Amino acid sequence: MKSSALLPPDRAAVCVLETPTSSVAHGIVSQAVLSAPGLRVTLFHFAAGQELSEHTSAARVLVQVLSGTCDFAVDGITHALKSGCLLHLPPHVPHSVRATEELTLLLTQATPAEAAK
């Protein structure tokens, strides 16, 4: 079965994390970058004004803002994030995001080996 991720999990490779040539006019677009046991990396593109409602993740999460700005709420506290910001979320922390302008995020989810089974 062929993976649709940008990087293969079994060998070294390079991919470019650019905003798509056509901007996201409406909605949210995601692309798997890497999927391997205990690790998932996803690229998200948000149109301005789009949001993800509050949710949690069983994984430890790092959110890196590659371009644009957003309001990222973590356990009820809103953080204004911009390009270059890195946010850490421990497992099970409620969070939500709203793009205040066109936004590109790189999301890394790490799951301990015992929880990934």
Domain ranges of the chain: 43-116
Q: Please, which residues bridge with residue 107 across strands?
A: 42, 63
Q: What is the pLDDT of residues 67-96, one digit of tens each?
A: 999 999 999 999 999 999 999 999 999 999
Mean pLDDT, residues 50-63 taken together: 97
Using CA atoms, how far apart are residues 115 and 77, in angstroms rounded to an integer? Answer: 28
The CATH homologous superfamily of the domain defined by 43-116: Jelly Rolls (2.60.120.10)
Q: What letter does residue 114 receive in the DSSP assignment?
A: H
Asked if residue 3 has pLDDT above 70, the reply is no
Does residue 25 surpass a pLDDT of 80?
A: no
The per-residue pLDDT of the chain, averaged, comes to 90
Res. 20: pLDDT tops 60: no
Distance CA 116, CA 39 (A): 9
pLDDT at 15 over 60: yes
- CA 8 to chain centroid, in Å, comes to 18
By C-alpha distance, which of 76, 18, 71, 8 is closest to 45?
18
Token pair in block for residue 14? 């390079």
Q: What pTM was computed for the model?
A: 0.87
